[in-house]
A and B are shown apart, each in its own frame.
Chain A
Amino acid sequence: MGTQRPDFAEFYQSCRDGCLRTVLVIVGDQDSAQELVAEAFARACASWRTVSGHPAPAAWVVRTALNLNISRWRRRRREVPVPDPGMLAGWPAAAADAQDPVDPQIMAALLRLPARQRQVIALRLILDLDTRETAQVLGITPNTVMAHMARALAALRSDLVPELQQEKPS
């Protein structure tokens, strides 16, 4: 008797937040991320017989959401959601004021990373894909994934540590 495939509702319940957080880290905007992930889940639902057989259905959803983002980006290039450096400067204060569920300092640091490093961080750390799966989603080699991961962590450390240390009481 083969392994029973999960029910779609069960899959959605268990993976929706992880997929949303992953896409959020990559696209940098909560509303866009939610819209993209909702549509990607709907497509997964529509093709559930196929998607449920995928080795990593959550990766399928994230990949679909990112592809949708590309399409949208092509259609509306003037509305690229990632903030420019000027906006980033004001992000922490603005986000804190709005009681954002996202840690503003870390999100700002993530958004300052090069796109590919941010994608690797999102897939590896938020979606918990392994190096090989991350490489497959991004279409790069596992070695490149590891290199991006190392650079991203180094960049985040140098970006965040001074800020976090400043917060510590002297």
Chain B
Amino acid sequence: MNDQELITAVRQSVRGVRMNVPAEQIVSRGRAIRAGGHRRLAAGITAVAAAGSVALGLGLSGAPGATPSAGAGPAPGAGPIRAAGTAPGAGPIRTAAFTLTRNANRTDTLTLTMNQMLDPAVLQQALERDGIPALVKTGIYCWSSPAAPDPASIGVLSVRLPVKPPHVMVPAPSGPAPGELKQLAARTVTVINPGAMPSGTELFFGYSSSIHALFTDLIYTRSHTCGNGLPSGGPAGS
């Protein structure tokens, strides 16, 4: 079999596959997107992009060389070093898993490291000390229905990704390689602006120790649902 025959065989192999979504349906969805109906979808994806970045930051916090588990607590030194009761702005909170810095413009910068798996209670405590209403959970995902505004689009969350990380456009289906994750993680910074949070909302951070991912979203404090899995028909359109 020469190259041309092989190429023809590959092309023929999917020749029977047809897109069966009617054009009208696509156009209708396109109109909805244009009209702003995509806000939630985009919000989800932005949030996912943010979460994904955060997730990458935490992704290998227990690896390589460590075996994080749901019940594992923080290692010695994982707790915040800023003294309890310290006023916001008194200095950064540093743990082995993250650093939270209060900025002069009343935003907070959350920088994740890969030195230690995240302790949700420590992160929640740190955020609360800086006046950021938050719910941080492990293995549980919370969402509001109807959904709260997208935290990225209203300026609550802003994630600074590394400049042109390798393979960010089309990563392997199994995800970026560990080396790539490390590169991403080391330079991913999230800026939180609590002043932009609508009243009655709080930031949700859901940490999965099994897949080592942190998901973020905005939820209504008094109206949200939590479960073991991600909500079906979730923000990413999945």
Taking Cβ atoms with an 8 Å cutoff, the residues of A that contact B are 8-9, 12-13, 16-17, 19-21, 24-28, 30, 34-35, 37-39, 41-46, 48, 63, 66-68, 70-78, 80-82, 101-103, 106-107, 110, 114-116, 119, 121, 125-126, 137-139, 153, 156-157, 160-161, 164
Contact = CB atoms under 8 A, between A and B. Distances in A.
Question: 10 closest A-B pairs (Cβ-Cβ)?
Answer: A45-B30, A101-B16, A74-B52, A103-B13, A115-B172, A106-B13, A42-B29, A46-B33, A16-B19, A82-B173
Interface of B: 1, 3, 6-7, 9-21, 23, 25-27, 29-34, 38, 41, 44-45, 48-49, 51-52, 55, 164, 167-175, 211, 213, 215, 230, 234-238
A71 B48 contact: yes
Nearest to A35: B237
Given A75-B234, A75-B238, A115-B174, A42 B19 contact: no
Contacts of A48: 30
A138 B170 contact: yes
A114 to B, nearest CB: 8
A17 B169 contact: no
B26 A72 contact: no
B38 A160 contact: no
A42 B55 contact: no
A45 B14 contact: no
Given A38-B19, A72-B238, A75-B51, 17 more contacts: A20-B19, A27-B173, A30-B17, A34-B19, A42-B26, A42-B27, A43-B38, A45-B33, A68-B237, A71-B52, A76-B230, A76-B236, A77-B175, A110-B10, A137-B169, A139-B170, A160-B1
A interface: dominant SS: helix
A66 B169 CA distance: 8
B167 A139 contact: yes
28 contacts: A12-B23, A16-B19, A26-B170, A30-B17, A39-B29, A41-B26, A45-B26, A45-B33, A46-B30, A46-B33, A70-B168, A70-B169, A71-B49, A75-B48, A75-B52, A101-B18, A102-B14, A102-B17, A103-B12, A106-B9, A106-B10, A107-B14, A110-B10, A110-B13, A115-B173, A137-B169, A138-B170, A153-B7
A37 B173 contact: no
Contacts of B164: 139
Contacts of A68: 45, 236-237
B163 to A, nearest CB: 13
Contacts of A110: 10, 13
A169 B27 CA distance: 50
A68 B236 CA distance: 8
B19 A19 contact: yes
B173 A157 contact: no
A156 B10 CA distance: 9
B63 to A, nearest CB: 14
B30 A42 contact: yes
Nearest to B176: A70
Given A38-B21, A73-B173, A12 B45 contact: no
A71 B14 contact: no
Given A46-B30, A46-B31, A72-B238, A81 B17 contact: no
Given A19-B19, A63-B169, A102 B13 contact: yes
A133 to B, nearest CB: 14
Given A73-B173, A75-B48, A24 B9 contact: no
Contact of A9 (B6, B27, B52): B27
Contacts of A78: 211
Nearest to A29: B173
A66 B30 CA distance: 18
Contact of B10 (A71, A75, A121): A121
